[in-house]
Amino acid sequence: MRGFELRYLVALDVLLTERHVGRAAQRLNLSQPAVSNSLAWLRYHFDDELLVRIGNTLQLTPFAETLRAPVRQLLAEINAVASLRANFSPESATGSFRIVMAQPTVATLAPALLRRIANEAPNMSVEIVDVDSDINRFKRGEIDLLVLPWQYLHEEHGREELFSDQWVCIACAENGPAPDEMDRQTFEEARHLLPQGPQPLNSELAAQGIRREVAAIVPPLLIPDVIVGTPWLACVPELLLTDAQREKVTVYSYPFRDSTIHYGQQWHAEADKDPRLLWLRSIVRQVVQKLELTPPSVIASPPVN
C-alpha cells in the first residue's frame, strides 16, 4: 500500500470506465496532465499498461478488466464508511441525497418527495439524476437511491417494491383511431412518437415481434403534449398523464400482453443500515402512500430478474 493514495484509486476507477484521459479529467475536475501522471503512477505500481491505444481508441488490458469490479466495490465500501453517522436527525442534518429516477417517475413522485424533504430536512440538498447517467456511480456508492422499473434494479443490492403503473396508448383526441379500434393491426399501421432513453417496452415489443414505425423521438415528459395535433400514436405509463392532458388525448388499453410496470426503490448493499438512507427510504414510502399510487399488495408479485 506504500504510496497508494485514495486519489489513485478514484482515478483508476474513472479511467477504467471512461477509457479516455480527457473525459476522465473532466469527471475528476482535474487537468489532463494530472490524470496522465496518475495513470503513469498506476502503470508503474501494477506493472501493466492498463490502457493501450488500438487505432484511435484506448482499450483495457486483460489485467485492467480484472480490476474493474473489485475497484468499484472497494470505492463503494469506502464511500459507505465515510457516509456513516451514528444517528440521523433530519431537522439539523446537512449534506445531499442523490436519487436516480426515470422521467415518468420524476413527474409522478419527485415534486411531493422534494417538498417533504424540504420541510423535514431543510438543510439537505437533493440531486435528481437521470436514468441515463453512469450506472457505475450507484455501484461505487455515489448514488443513494434508485427509483426505477423493477427490471432495472440489481439483484445483489437491497430493493423493495413501491407501486405499479400500466402502459397505455394515447393519440390526439381529434386525429386518433376510434376508442374501440386499438388492436395489433392498428398499432403497427400507426406512426409512433417514442421517448428518448432506455425503455423496457422496446425490448418487450421486439420479443413479441411487434414493430413500430418511428415518427419522432422526444423526452418522455413531452409526449402527451407533443402528440396533440398529430396523427401519431404513443405508449406511456398511465400515471404520466395529467388531468389536463387527458382532455386532449384519447387513452386506449395496451393491446398486447401484461401491461403492468412495477416500480421499486433500491439502495446499495453496503448502506443497508445507514440511518440517513433508512430515513430517506421511509420518506419515499410515505410519499407513495399519500399520493395513493397503486400499492404493491393489490398487484402481482414483481418479476424475478
- Containing 105, the helix (H) or strand (E) segment is helix 103-120
pLDDT above 80 (res 89): yes
- List the grid coordinates of 65: 478488466
The region, left, alpha or beta by phi > 0 then psi within -120 to 50, assigned to residue 173 is alpha
Partners of residue 166 on adjacent β-strands: 260
Give tens-digit pLDDT for 153-162: 988 899 999 9
How many other CB atoms are there within 10 angstroms of residue 101's CB atom?
22
Helix (H, G, I), strand (E, B) or coil at 234: strand
Asked if residue 290 has pLDDT above 70, the reply is yes
Half-sphere exposure of 294 (CA within 13 A, CB side): 17
Tens digit of each residue's pLDDT (9 = 90 or more) over 240-273 = 888 899 999 999 988 887 788 899 999 988 888 8
Note the pLDDT tens digit of each residue in 175-186: 887 777 788 899
CA neighbor of 164 nearest in space, from 288, 304, 290: 288
Domains and CATH numbers, the chain: 6-83 (1.10.10.10), 95-163+261-298 (3.40.190.10), 164-260 (3.40.190.10)
Q: Say whether pTM exceeds 0.75.
A: no
pLDDT digits (tens, 9 = 90+) for 101-135: 987 788 889 999 999 999 999 999 999 987 765 56
